[in-house]
Chains A and B, each alone.
Chain A
Amino acid sequence: MSNRRMDRTETEAIRKVLAGDRDAYRVLMERHFYAVTRVAFRITGDEADAEEVAQEAFLRAYNKLPSFRQDAAFSTWVMRIAMNTSLNLVERRKHDLSYRAPRIADDPAVDGETVRIADIKDGPEDALLTREAVSVREAAMAQLTPMERTAFTLRHMEDVSMSEIAVALNITVNSAKQAVFRAVGKLRRSLTPIAGGTR
């Protein structure tokens, strides 16, 4: 994510979309869909949810394109929509108790949540350790609030600046920093019993 202004290709694509050419929107999607999906995945922690969020973010951005002020980058704008959509989805999921229930109707062979087949290159012990590590990380991340998780993943995994996180989450820079620091503190304490860590 960056604050740079849009290049001519994107400006031209937006102009065409606003003139009624829907297919011109594909240029913007090709450039930013992976980044948006990746951020949505970091926040929601679920591949299907991330795709759904990215779809919704791009659709909302398209419908709001007539009011988009082109003094900001399209990427920043669509990313902000995606972050808010992701946070809303995570909030909704918290109230939806059936969400993490086993999915009987899904095909277990293609559902990563139902059955995980170890990489054949890894031995059974490696696979077990990998699963345990993933499980520990997921449990630690689950203790974070959606805001903390979002701020932390964007800062640490996506290398987004604090000021950009603050703008995206509609909070002050100081609040964004505090959210990241709280997240790191919580994660560290979650790992301490396993690592036999310090204070």
Chain B
Amino acid sequence: MKHFSEDELIAYQLHESSDEAAIRAHLEECSLCADLSDSIAETLRVFSAETAPQPDLELNWQRLRGNLSVLDVERPRRLTWLRSGWMWPAVGFAAAVALLISGTVVHLHRETVPRPNFSINGHGPLTTQPADPAIADHLDAAERLLTEVNNASGPLDETTRNQAHDLLMKNAVFIHKARQGGDVAEAAVLENLGRVLTTVDTEPSTPHSTLRLRIEMNTSGLLLDIRILRQNDEQNNDGSKGATE
């Protein structure tokens, strides 16, 4: 008598077997396989679905909504015509002409014309005005702290939390300055930073809170925003230095 393997009997119990009729007939004759099959059925019964917790949908929606940025897919739609192969030579030609014209214009007008910067995560211009040099140090320290938090695997230590507390105080001043200077985008990034710093500073340090912070930073691109903000700031400072030299 050919016996069935454990895998074949598991497949039978899960209704995944292609040989169901043959196995059923065999189980009526073979007590050894029938015992094994019963044992599998009992295991599946023991591990049958337990009630899963029902989370608070409203609370979760509110938490999620705070992290949702407004999506804008108009740009890709407008660019679908670029997918047609015949357009590329024309685009290349137009780009070459545009480069030639812009090169001539730059050559003729050597003076620097300030242009808005739209490069930060689609949030719009950050700043093109020479910023307070002290903010570069602040952003540098914030970037280092957030990188550390982002890479931490366990609870945060006391030193990190103290640094967050100090940065939080300074951050409030820079937010105020950014608002006064009318730099809404910079103020928004700093407010976002302030939110994370507040969590680091006030929440009890558990692996959960650290993980939540990492998720917030990764998903909202806060670290990236700060890096771009700092680079823009450095460029502005370099630019202003170059202008004074």
Q: Which residues of chain A have a CB within 8 Å of any CB of chain B?
A: 17-20, 22-23, 25-26, 29-30, 33-34, 37-38, 41-42, 47-48, 50-52, 54-56, 58-60, 62-63, 65-66, 89, 92, 95-96, 98-99, 103, 105-106, 133, 137, 140-141, 152, 155-158, 162, 177, 180-181, 184-185, 187-188, 191-192, 195, 197-199
Contacts and interface: CB of A to CB of B under 8 A. Distances in A.
Given A62-B68, A181-B11, A199-B35, A105 B206 contact: yes
Contacts of B69: 22, 63
A65 B53 CA distance: 28
Given A23-B65, A59-B215, A92-B153, 13 more contacts: A18-B73, A22-B65, A26-B65, A33-B57, A41-B53, A42-B52, A47-B55, A48-B208, A105-B206, A177-B16, A184-B14, A197-B42, A199-B36
A65 B7 CA distance: 40
A184 B10 CA distance: 7
B103 interface: no
A26 B204 CA distance: 30
Top 9 A-B residue pairs of the complex, sorted by shortest distance between their CB atoms: A105-B204, A157-B49, A38-B52, A188-B43, A198-B35, A181-B7, A22-B68, A66-B73, A47-B53
A65 B71 contact: yes
**Which of B36, B50, B54, B206 has the largest count of A CB atoms less than 10 A from its CB?**
B206
B71 A20 contact: yes
B14 A155 contact: yes
